[in-house]
A = this chain, B = another copy of it.
Amino acid sequence: MQPKLAIVAGGGSLPIALAEACRKNERPYFLLGLEGFAEPGRLEGHPHRWGRIGAVGRVVETIREEAALEVVFAGHVRRPSLASLRPDLFTVRLLARAGARALGDDGLMRHIVRAFEAEGLRVVEVSSVLADALAPPGPLGALAPDESALEDIRRGLEVAKALGRADAGQAVVVQQGIVLAIEAAEGTDRMVARAACLRREGPGGVLVKVAKPQQDRRMDLPVVGPATVDAAAAAGLRGIAVEAGGVLVLARDAAIRPADEAGLFVTGAEPASGTPRRLS
């Protein structure tokens, strides 16, 4: 039997998808909801406890009390400012090791993973729990991007990867070569909504979402799901391209069906090769 899994849960549906996968596979688990990020209503019906993002020491203790040996981080967390963090002693030490510049950096995430591992916990990737969640290359639904959409995808991958290298965002909307909107702290869905106000005449834009090149894959892999498809359809986009092997597609059936109905493509693209792969 697999060891008990602690799902450290931010906002959104990813933590629940993990919990449901554990339940289905009869793997022991509990959700550790992060106050202010995990939504209480969603945690009901699953074994869960609560923790605070500034109290990493207490979070580790709770995981020990629950006798979980593996940990997975999942869901949105709005990175707090130092002023709002109210860190416990463990967290103060962690921040001291990470250095003053780490807040807002991938570096902080790496230090958190290391600190958990120093406490004897094994931090695992979301994709190790949620098999088949990583986007494969090529179209996921009935539709595939045409040549002009492929151009926008290529441009979007270029910009999003540059952003990712600077550790500053993971998603962009491109229409006919024009970068309409770039994501920072507001999140993908609000960025997509903004793109609706900026769109030009002609065929709609494409949402492109990638993983940061340097990112620790055990933290914070980007996600798209049904809500992303709804936002893209409402904004008049033509489709969504996610980095194959770098972005999680949640509730794939529930996401792809409305995309097909709305006439949107959803496709896995590969930045490394310069142009996204096309299956037709």
Contact = CB atoms under 8 A, between A and B. Distances in A.
A183 to B, nearest CB: 7
Contacts of A84: 200-202
**Contact count band on A:** 35 or more
Contact of A80 (B100, B104, B173, B200): B200
9 contacts: A82-B176, A84-B201, A101-B155, A103-B176, A103-B177, A104-B155, A163-B166, A169-B182, A182-B182
Interface in A218-258: none
A180 B176 contact: no
Nearest to A174: B104
Copies of this polypeptide in the complex: 2
Interface of A: 79-84, 100-105, 151, 155, 158-159, 162-163, 165-166, 168-169, 172-173, 175-186, 194, 197-198, 200-203
A194 B186 contact: yes
Nearest to A198: B185
Given A159-B166, A178-B79, A184 B172 contact: yes
A166 B177 contact: no
Given A83-B202, A103-B177, 20 more contacts: A79-B178, A80-B200, A80-B201, A81-B175, A83-B176, A83-B200, A84-B202, A100-B151, A101-B177, A105-B177, A159-B166, A162-B165, A163-B166, A163-B182, A173-B184, A179-B184, A181-B184, A184-B198, A186-B194, A186-B197
A198 B78 CA distance: 10
Contacts of A181: 184-186
A166 B158 contact: yes
A201 B83 CA distance: 6
A104 B179 contact: yes
A251 B175 CA distance: 34
Contacts of A186: 181, 194, 197-198
A166 B162 contact: yes
